[in-house]
Structures are given as C-alpha cells and as structure tokens.
Amino acid sequence: MELYDYKELLPILLLGIAFFVVTVVVLYWSAKQGHLRNFDAQAKTIFTEEEPEGEVSDTFPESRKLSRSRKDRK
C-alpha cells in the first residue's frame, strides 16, 4: 500500500536545485575575483618569523641530540 506521496519531497528538491545553482554562481564569482589564483600561497600563512617555514618546531630532547650528532658526522 502506497503510504507516501512523493510530492512531499518537493521542498528538499527545490532547495537542492537552489543550492547547486548558488554554488556554481559563487565559484564563478570567486574565480572572476581572483580568489582562486595563487591559492597554495595561503598554505604558508601559518608560518611566521617566530616559527618559520623549514624549521621543525617540536621534538623529544634525546632525538634532537641524535639528529645533531648525525648531522655532525655528515
């Protein structure tokens, strides 16, 4: 017996279509605004002069001594 009328799904279907359209528009707009160029540069924003890129900032003490002595041997 058919309990459910699928017209009841209309709100979500309309919202889904709206969502999709808005997403496409926003992506187009951000591309046009230049937000998507040089994107990977944003990955470096976590580094500062205090904790710069290229430096490991957290180790156990003995392992540091180990790596230091290894570097000395090279």
Partner 1 sequence: MSDTSQLISPSSNPYSSEHASVRAELSEIDASIRTASVFFVVSAIGWLMIGTVFALMAAFKAHQPDFLGAYDFLTFGRVRSAHLNAMALGWGNNIIFAVGLWIMARLCRSPIQHKGLLLIAGVFWNIGLTVGIVGILRGDMTSVEWLEIPQYATPMLVVAYALIAVWGIMAFRFRKGEHVYVSQWYILAGLFWFPWLYVVAQAVIIWFPARGVVQSVANWWFAHNVLGLWLTPMALATAYYLIPKVLGRPIYSYYLSVLGFWALAIFYNWAGVHHLIGGPIPVWLISAGIVASIMMVIPVIVVAINHHMTVVGLHREVWRSPTLRFIVFGAISYTLVSLIGSTMALRSVSEVTHFTHFTIGHAHHGVYAFFTMIMFGGVYYMMPRLLKREWPSAGLIKLHFWGCALGITVMVVALQTGGWIQGMEMNNPEIPFLEVVQNTIPWLKARSVSGIFLTVGHIAFAVNFFWMLFAAGAVRAKKEPTLLTKEGGLA
Partner 2 sequence: MRNMAILFCGIFFALAFSFTGLIVTGNIQLGSLEPSTETLVPSDADPSVMVMPEGETRYPLKPSGLAEQGKKVYIDLGCLYCHSQQVRRRGFGADIDRGWGPRQSVARDYVRQDRVLLGTIRTGPDLAHVGGRYAGDAGRDWNYLHLYNPQIVSKGSTMPPFAFLYTKQEIVNERSPDALDFPPGSEYAPEPGYEIVPTRRAEALVEYLLSLRIDYSLPEAPIPE
Token code pair at residue 31 = 């591309």
Residue 1 touching partner 1 (CB under 8 A): no
- Within 13 A of 13's CA, how many CA atoms are on the CB side? 5
Q: Cβ 55 to partner 2, closest distance in Å?
A: 27
Closest separation between CB of residue 48 and partner 2, Å?
A: 19
Q: Which residues bind partner 2 (CB under 8 A)?
A: 1, 3-4, 8-9, 11-12, 15-16, 19, 22-23, 26, 30, 35, 42
